[in-house]
Structure 1
Amino acid sequence: MKYKIGYFQSGSVSVLVKMATKANPLEGKTLKPESVRSQLETSLERLQMKSVDLFYLHMPDHNTPVEQTLHACNELYKEGKFKELGLSNYAAWEVAEIYTICKYNSWVLPTVYQGMYNATTRQVETELLPCLRHCGMRFYAYNPLAGGLLTGKYKYEDKDTVQPTGRFFGNDWAQIYRDRYWKEHHFQAIALVEKALGQAYGSNPPSLTSAALRWMYNHSKLQGALGDAVIIGMSNMDQLQQNLTCSEEGPLLPAVVEAFDKAWHLVAHDCPNYFRPAIPEGDLYLCPCVYVTLGDSGKLLQLFDPTLTSQVSARYFRAGIGNL
């Protein structure tokens, strides 16, 4: 067996390996030009490569003008240090802004967006996916199993008991994932789908894992012909094989697809945002945003998602981010 970055070879089988890395404004880093360069060049050094296939801006840095970040990316692209520019965790209006800036300046255009999407987390369908289609960008879905919740192995009442290490327990991101998905109505939605699987398929139904992945491949808004893809994860080879098998198992019965739709409507009101604003409390930014107050009390009645511009007029309002 021979191995080198780029290709894996075993006997007569040769598999192309593509490499991606990212820059983010976390843990003391920023998306200022010098930090973007440092993060990419550090990755290249560790990978022992001169270039990667895909370089993501992992999330917005609202303390750095986006033009500076994009200009830095274009310089790195011209130096041959990455082949495609990707975005992740940006709101739809930010994607449109970035694409417009890059096109106006003849800079490298973003061609890939990595976002949160699964059968019970569909917020991206409203505006993000139409935006990506307009810009000719591919969509790579992460969390296709909602961090493992859509495997059916977790029970809501077990949240306070000892649990094996995973997305929801025993790591630095566990609380974030519990805040994202560990809610009673999510488990009610899962029970609804499991019941439908039993009724539709009888004594030998597919697993919830299989059903959730088959929904992604066959019933979601993803379009393979446009280059969309599902990012799968695994902690062992059995899970990898299961994930790959699910990609070939075909569509679900209509009753199960309908159950997934009902499950989505059950949790949609509390769907985790696909974007990460990263806006410091108390700061002011220009964003499309409206809130409604009740009479003279000043009580907040409804806060509109600032990315869903279909809910508001095209006018931009100056919004204060603080304790509402």
Structure 2
Amino acid sequence: MTTSHETSLPTCELGPGGPIVSRLALGTMTFGVETDESVARRQLDEFVEAGGTFVDTADVYGDGASEEIIGRWAAARGGVDDLIVATKGRFAPPAGSHGASRRSIHRSVDRSLRRLGLDAIDVYFVHGWDDFTPIEETLDALTSLVRAGKIHHIAWSNVTGWQLQRIITTATLGDFVPPVAVQPQYNLIDRGIELEVLPCCLEAGLGIAPWSPLGGGWLTGKYDRGQRPTGNTRLGDDPERGVEAYDVRNTERTWRILDEVMSIADEHSRSPGHVAIAWLLSRPGVASVLLGARTAEQLNDNLAAADLVLSDAELGRLTSVSATHLPPYPYGMIEDFCDVDVWKRLGTASSA
């Protein structure tokens, strides 16, 4: 799976026939919002210097500011032919259109290309499912853009297992361009994709590029048990922030996971974040992990996780303490009757 390139970061193929990317990717959601342009450019420079080749953005990051910053940086360095650039569309449709409709997708792609200063987008992720647009219409629009040379590969983000399988099946039966990858939330605290999405990806051979590998900062050890965060951190600014909210994740299970992460980090004299990233890189199907950071210092610390290799025993400890148990029905019943191997491989085979 790993390919030999003259970089300090390992690389792999992002799904069947997909591009070759660095196994650590640069997520740019903070660009133009929490990270100003000068710091964003420094992050981009240092990511490339470290051997990174996969840069991910979206049209809604900073209302397009993230794409614009990347575009200006790319122009200043003479282009990005040496990189794989991904962006996403779905949540910023033009007036009168649903997010994944033909009209919206075509306009979103054209606007992203202008902001990025590119002739083609290497990987275009649909940012989420659209209940109001037939999947055939979305796939037909994406296929036409691939054939027009505006997109090289398509992918999806934030979908359920049945939605992903419907995308794959419709693409196959309709002779549309199939997705090569999926971008879900995945980390030691939230392993929900292991029930359906991850097995679906493994069955189809799709690459997985997880976002939030550090659980929104939880897995860095920066938060304290029983003390709501304050100060200049993600949850310090907004303790109610989405799926990462303090009151949602302030559970005994979270603290048990953190205790194990901290213990293994101490054994290696490494940061807890390195351990969390190393575990994620070891998971079946995971191709490239998205690193998002406010500062260049945070990014450099995360990039240093690339050379940490955990033992099978250490990986087992982390997988066991963070296990998301299969609900008794239908998963537990199916596992008992059919001896399903995939959940055993993922460490989710014990019924609750």
TM-score over 0.5 (shorter chain): yes
Say if 1:93 and 1:310 are closer, same or farther in 2 by CA, change over 3 A. Answer: farther
Which residue of structure 2 aligns with residue 250 of structure 1?
309
Which residue of structure 2 aligns with residue 164 of structure 1?
232
TM-aligned CA deviation for residue 206 of structure 1 = 2.7
Once the two structures are superposed, residues 244-270 of structure 1 have per-residue CA deviations (whole angstroms, 9 ceiling, x without a partner) of: 22111211472x4343234313xx37x
Task: Select the residue among 279, 291, 296 that pairs with 1:232.
Answer: 291
TM-aligned CA deviation for residue 205 of structure 1 = 3.8
Distance 2:87 2:320 in 1: 37
Structure in which a larger fraction of residues adopt helix: 2
Q: Which runs of structure 2 are paired with 1:1-324 in the superposition (5 Å)?
A: 3-7=77-81, 16-25=82-91, 30-159=99-228, 162-166=230-234, 168-170=235-237, 174-178=241-245, 182-194=249-261, 196-197=263-264, 201=267, 205-218=269-282, 220-222=283-285, 228-252=287-311, 254=313, 256-265=314-323, 268=324
Say if 1:165 and 1:239 are closer, same or farther in 2 by CA, change over 3 A. Answer: closer
Letter in 2 for 1:154: Y
Which residue of structure 2 aligns with residue 315 of structure 1?
none
Partner SS state of residue 145, structure 1: coil
Distance 2:106 2:240 in 1: 26
Gaps of 5+ in 1: 8-15, 272-301, 312-324
Identity over aligned residues, as a percent? Answer: 22
Aligned residues: 258
Distance 1:23 1:238 in 2: 29
Say if 1:54 and 1:181 are closer, same or farther in 2 by CA, change over 3 A. Answer: farther
Assess if the C-alpha contact under 8 Å between 1:192 and 1:259 holds in 2.
no
Assess if the C-alpha contact under 8 Å between 2:182 and 2:207 holds in 1.
yes
User: Bigger shift: 231-240 or 77-86?
Assistant: 231-240
Distance 1:18 1:140 in 2: 13
TM-score with structure 1 setting the length: 0.69
Which residue of structure 2 aligns with residue 296 of structure 1?
none
Say if 1:181 and 1:310 are closer, same or farther in 2 by CA, change over 3 A. Answer: farther
TM-aligned CA deviation for residue 173 of structure 1 = 8.0
Partner SS state of residue 20, structure 1: strand
Distance 1:36 1:173 in 2: 31
Once the two structures are superposed, residues 253-302 of structure 1 have per-residue CA deviations (whole angstroms, 9 ceiling, x without a partner) of: 72x4343234313xx37x9xxxxxxxxxxxxxxxxxxxxxxxxxxxxxx9
Distance 2:230 2:247 in 1: 20
Distance 1:49 1:195 in 2: 43
Letter in 2 for 1:214: A
Letter in 1 for 2:205: G
Letter in 2 for 1:260: L
User: Bigger shift: 103-112 or 187-196?
Assistant: 187-196
Distance 2:142 2:172 in 1: 13
Partner SS state of residue 146, structure 1: coil
Structure in which a larger fraction of residues adopt strand: 1
Distance 1:308 1:43 in 2: 44
Larger-gyration structure (1/2): 1
Partner SS state of residue 157, structure 1: coil
- After superposing on structure 2, the runs of 4+ consecutive aligned residues of structure 1 that deviate more than 6 Å are 302-305
TM-score with structure 2 setting the length: 0.64
Partner SS state of residue 141, structure 1: coil
Partner SS state of residue 4, structure 1: coil
User: Bigger shift: 178-187 or 128-137?
Assistant: 178-187
CA RMSD, aligned part only? 3.2
